Chains A and B, each alone.
Chain A
Amino acid sequence: MNMLIYLVPIALLMGGIGLLAFLWSLKSGQYDDLQGAAWRILADDETDQRKL
């Protein structure tokens, strides 16, 4: 049962990382254009290049 002292925090930590990743993706606007994202994955990369 002593294992739990390590396992429970590890489980929580992993869940927490998932939550943080979700928060980050939400903040960086990855859910703004869900339909476009589905198409963009098929497109060639050229259009994504930005001019300097």
Chain B
Amino acid sequence: MTCCTMEAESVLALSTTSSSAGEVRLASQPLGEGLRQLDLNVPDVHCGGCISTIERALLALSFVKTARVNLTARRVSCVYQEEIETGATDPSKILTAINAAGYRAHLFTPSAPENDKTRNQLLLAIGVSGFAAANIMLLSVSVWSGADAATRDMFHWISAMIAAPALVYAGRFFFKSAWNALRHGRTNMDVPISLAVTLSYAVSLWETVHHGEHAWFDASVSLLFFLLIGRTLDHVMREKARAAINGLARLAPRGALLINPDGSRHYIAIEEIAAGDEISIAAGERVPVDGIIVSGESDLDLSIVTGESSPVAVASNSEVSSGAMNLTGSLVLRATRIAKNSLLSEIIGLMEAAEGGRARYRRIADRAATLYSPVVHLLALVSFLAWGILGGDWKQAMLVAVAVLIITCPCALGLAVPVVQVVAAGELFRKGIMVKDGSALERLAEADTVAFDKTGTLTMGSSRLVRVDAMDESATAIACGLAAHSRHPLSQALVRDTETAPMSFDKVTEIPCGGLEARNGADVYRLGNAAFACGTSVVPRTADGPFSEVVLSKNGVDLARFFFDDTLRPGACEAIDRLDAAGLETLIVSGDRQTVVDNTAHALGIDWALGSLTPKQKVEECQRLNGEGRRVLMVGDGINDAPALAAAHVSMAPATASDIGRQAADLVFFNDRLDAVPEAIAVARRSASLIRQNFALAIGYNALAVPIAIAGLATPLIAAVSMSTSSIIVVTNALRLNALSRRQDMHIRGGIGRSAETKTA
């Protein structure tokens, strides 16, 4: 299947993040009898072809017993044997096998399975109430079609017996919540629901005992049935995306190689690292905890921590913070803080403080409930009193009041929001965007300003060669030959972006904090920063320019200079154009140097760029914009963006973001293209307008039905029919989102085609 191919490049780049056997074993759970279960996250699976490719690749390993892909959660769970005849097995081969099949795989620790407990209880309740509703409806239809008195009574009694346990079992979600609200002196949507259900049951029972003609058992049970569907959709939508986001790759390492006092090394979990422990960090690994370097020199990539895109040199006694990627040399680090107190946790604290603003946001359904429930109660009470006082028949008054409560039942309202949101979330999921909960869509529809982080969001965080100042062509070949030996991002970019055949060297040494060195006869070639290549006296030409610079020298004389820029994320230009067209303002908030940020802003046509911001300043910027009455959508990926992601009105992160960034974001997009941002806003806005339509439909229905109920004309048949009709209309309207988006897609595609044409012209 062509849809499943991945670029070879990105697979190769992953080799730096591969895990050791020890780490994999640590992440898998023992099942007993020498079996262990390993759960992996594979964010790229998206079709049946992917499922069978991965399962086949895993079952081909001799020690793997079962492998099963869960497409919904994008996970693989794999049971393997710890030992086979030939000795202990190497579970990291499982990851290698998945990588070889062309997919990224990440370890994750499965959270407690209780997530699904509520969903299962809700589904059970739907099953029970559905069963009860169907059977009672069957009996009711016989009654309506004119059963004689004895049969009618018998049917009513059977209905009452079916309804009672179903109401207690399936209604408990509403009763609990209503009781909770009442106890705290509030009302919510569940209060009129509970009241309608219990009152209608009580009145129907009373009617049945007194051989009355009408009973409302069917209405009260089917009311619960519809409401439970809405509630379950709401729950599933929140839980599913949250579980998947939480389970995604954890970039923060889960352990480290501890160096014992006697010099031996063993792998321990990150929680077991104590302050004062010495740990070894190889090139290509992430720093697990804050610490001081004891020995070794290297360059650290801090992009995920500070947003700074060029690597920073470190040596003995330098302080390093957790989350940084060790690029060139191996280091021995003395931990100064345990994992719980590291920089990561500080950021989490900052995030929690920032999230207060968002917690005040009230979901549309809740806002509707505060208006709706007093009106419903008042209507029921007024019609009860009016019928009682004017008509003098208090029994009839009670029946009318119950009819009002049932007919105004918020089941269309209860479905109005979740159905639209589930359809919209499904639509976005197909486009590679995951929504954490429904209120995120509501907030996204309100956004009017988009703040982008630079490194990793607008740019891919990988460098691109933009300019070469060289004496002759051969210099590039020499530089390529040297760079091929390094894992440094600039070296990799140099090899990737030049077409010259690289010159080969026998021995290339990588000198931490400097660059690469090779000897060819008596000549010494050096590739790296200006100071390293040409001696300390030379000042780099781009000390504060927008580009990173690499110098190639021969015996201390510079031969060539290479300038690098960050690669823009694909679709970034189109995304900004579309956001402009949709009337949103854009700005950049970045921790990187101002000159670099300005350069990116200029390339994309964003007029407002703020550089060198600390995580705290990013939060303050978001709060300032909020204070101006703007609704900010923050798009970012790094650990340093996490607090701002939490502080903004709504936030998005790419799937390549740090774990903590993804946790903080409301939406996560899987594809590399930045188009996901305007796409998500478009879907959110459409769903917001559908929700408004649904509210209008539900209210319109009430405006028609309530007078009938107040007039005392609502027979059980009319009540049941009108209730179901309103629900079905609301659901059908929600499904229009798919049709709408298909039309819009065509429209947008035409639009992009045009803008591309004008650009080339």
Contact = CB atoms under 8 A, between A and B. Distances in A.
Interface of A: 1, 4, 8, 11-12, 15-16, 18-19, 22-23, 26, 31-36, 39-40, 42-44, 46-47, 50-51
26 contacts: A11-B135, A11-B138, A12-B135, A18-B131, A19-B127, A23-B124, A26-B124, A26-B127, A32-B70, A33-B73, A34-B72, A35-B71, A35-B72, A36-B70, A36-B71, A39-B48, A39-B51, A39-B71, A40-B51, A43-B52, A46-B56, A47-B52, A47-B56, A47-B59, A50-B66, A51-B59
A27 B102 CA distance: 34
Contacts of B127: 19, 22-23, 26
A3 to B, nearest CB: 11
Interface residues of B, number: 30
Contacts of A18: 131
Interface in B114-138: 116, 120, 123-124, 127-128, 131, 134-135, 138
B135 A15 contact: yes
A32 B72 CA distance: 8
B55 A47 contact: yes
Contacts, number: 63
Contact of B151 (A4, A26, A36, A51): A4
Which 9 residue pairs are nearest across A and B when measured between Cβ atoms?
A39-B48, A36-B71, A19-B131, A33-B70, A35-B71, A22-B127, A47-B55, A33-B72, A47-B52
A11 B71 CA distance: 38
Contact of A39 (B47, B65, B120): B47
A38 B32 CA distance: 32
A22 B129 CA distance: 12
A19 B134 CA distance: 11
Contacts of A22: 127
User: For the complex, would chain B's binding face be called helix, strand, loop or mixed by DSSP majority?
Assistant: helix
Interface in B129-162: 131, 134-135, 138-139, 151, 154, 158, 162
Nearest to A9: B158
B405 interface: no
Nearest to B47: A39
B73 A43 contact: no
Most buried by A among B56, B131, B138, B162: B131
Contacts of A50: 65-66
B576 interface: no
Contacts of A26: 120, 123-124, 127
A42 B463 CA distance: 42
B69 interface: yes
Contacts of A51: 59, 64-66
Given A18-B131, A36-B51, A47-B51, 11 more contacts: A1-B151, A12-B135, A19-B131, A32-B72, A32-B116, A36-B71, A40-B48, A43-B48, A43-B52, A47-B59, A51-B59
Contacts of B128: 19
